[in-house]
Structure 1
Amino acid sequence: MTERISQLLNEAVAGVEPAASDPVGAVLRRGRSARRRSALMAAVVCAGLAISGVVVGPRLAGGPGVGVAAAEPEAPYVDGRTVVAGAVRLPIPDGWRAATSDQPCADTSRTILIRVHDNERCGTSAVEIFSTPVSSVGGAVTNFGSQVIEGGVVAPPALVTLQGGEPGWLERTSGREDAPHPASWLALPWSRVKFLFRLDSAAAGEFIASMRSAPVGAGTLAVPRTAAIADLVIADASGGVRPEDIGRIRAPETIARLLGLLRDQEDAVADAEACAGATQATAEITIKAVEGVPWGTEPSPVPGPSPAAGPRDTTVVVIALGGDCQEAVSSHGGRVRLSAETVAELKNVYGIGAR
């Protein structure tokens, strides 16, 4: 398992060699040892980047409600030796500093930079934090010849679980080719922040494994009541996308079937029971209020209860596939466990056969 995690991070920061053969694995082993010492754990909890399974627990007390992500979280800030970004706390390592981008640059190779929009004086650091609604992670475009989605698709991200239960979408491929150093993205849709790591795989893994969270998006999936178009892209555990695993639907009755299927999933996953990890294949459903909305636009702030989706609303659901942990996470809030039958029905909605 740890070999796959290292491979994923190596792909994200291709061209830079890690300092140790498997430092990410060491981090995960330390996390597993700490969990074994805790008698309070009733389930196997994901730590750092990934874990293969989880003990199935009861539904949320009193029955699940619809998950709600942070509507307008406080801008990231520094609290002593910790950076607070949404529901996530990132310890500042020894020898590092945290600063906002309106301050002068100083040793950017060991700076955690909180990006602000006004008077940016420093724009490049080893770690950067962006406060933004999250409807995508980004990545390399593939399947340019697709007859289903014109212009190609971006492979779905890996779905990972931070300490505490916050879901994260980890880019599977390298970042901007014009950047001075390879880069990888980690998006936290519930906290509405993105992390950019201009680091090798070892250092990026250390940062991700050190994050602690207290999510606010638990519950069933928050999805819009209606939509004009919905795309499905399925990737294997390495990020590969086959032409037959790309789907697009427009017919109102098919859209209604999709949204009804997502809305009907009531096996909400409590934070301590979350298990999605980087070793799994993933699927990504992008639901748009109107066709022609540019890829990567902001998600709707009020999905489920609204009478109709707004003209630029986008909702994204990322699903971890296979093994003992099949979870779906909505960008607006909510995480549910999916059965193999539900995944098969989801594919049937798009006319995609079993893999």
Structure 2
Amino acid sequence: MADTTSFPPLKNDLILRAARGEKTERAPVWVMRQAGRYLPEFRAERVENDFFKICRTPELATKVTLQPIDRYEGLLDASIIFSDILVIPQALGMTVEMVPGKGPHFPTPLVVPADMAVQLKEKVDVHKELQYVFDAITMTRHALNGRVPLIGFVGAPWTLMAYMIEGGGSKTLSKAKEWIFKYPKESHELLGRITDVCVDFLVGQVHAGAQMLQVFESWGGELGPHDFEHFSLPYLAQIAKRVKAELGDKAVPMCVFAKGSWYALDKLSVIGYDVVSLDWTHTPESAKAITLGRVTLQGNMDPNVLYGGDEAIVAAATRMVRGFGSTRRYIANLGHGILPTVPVEAMELFLKTVHRVGLEVAAEEKAAELANDVKIIG
């Protein structure tokens, strides 16, 4: 078993300080899906290995996790373990395939509530089912050699439930929504079972070496405000509360990302997370006004801007950092995962612009503070 007791000392803790609300020298930056399909080195790896084989082989997961850290040396302030949110349905007993050109596919999705008894395990031992993720996290922590912190993650219960019922991606989520409207009691039962596994999985990731956690409610915006409050928010809150309680003094910063759920930002900022990640439907001004400094904000440039050319990337990244600020409660990121055909040069320009503008804004903020101090003394 990999050594989880003597990790290399951390050389860059910028993102952890920002997540905790501490002052930083500049805004830290990382990108959702930064390890993956847009990188030529990852595509080369996929020629030789199936997607889930990479996830399940710690050496390969470590190699892929480090690819963007190596390529963009000194530009990324965090790494995120290469895995997939659908390892949870797999741990529950479902078969998930990654079909080239199509994405995830469940050959036998849940059709009616009675299928839960047939297809899903009553009890899930995450150390038995998902030890490969824990091993990859530990191995990656050592391989990073303290360059940046390592983020662990999980899919949120509603998003995972939707995949398990739809059998893959969907434009309408009509089958999953049929469940919450026709079978609300059974839907809550399923959400609760998924939540239990998510909690155990996140706790295990921290014990394995993860230094920050993110919960992805990727399909949160497919629910209206009422349904989000009933079928998403309570389970997101449970995860934050229970993970922190189980970890105690080993707790790490936690981030929630509910894509499209702009109407729930006020509630997401008070359910126990340290960071709330934003998609591009938020302005910095409104997000800060709604959250009132209770949490660190993360995001939120539209990933499609990375197709817009140098001028558009610089303008959007500059506007983002200047809007959110650079030294208090902000982590720069995209508003969703980087898209598979984005040029690597566009990603590099985005990161360099965030660094440059972040340092400029930090200097301006410091000058303003000094001027204010002089004014007060005077």
**Greater per-residue strand proportion:** 1
Same fold, judged at TM 0.5 (above)? no
Larger radius of gyration: 2
User: What is the TM-score when the length of structure 2 is the normalising length?
Assistant: 0.29
User: What is the TM-score when the length of structure 1 is the normalising length?
Assistant: 0.30
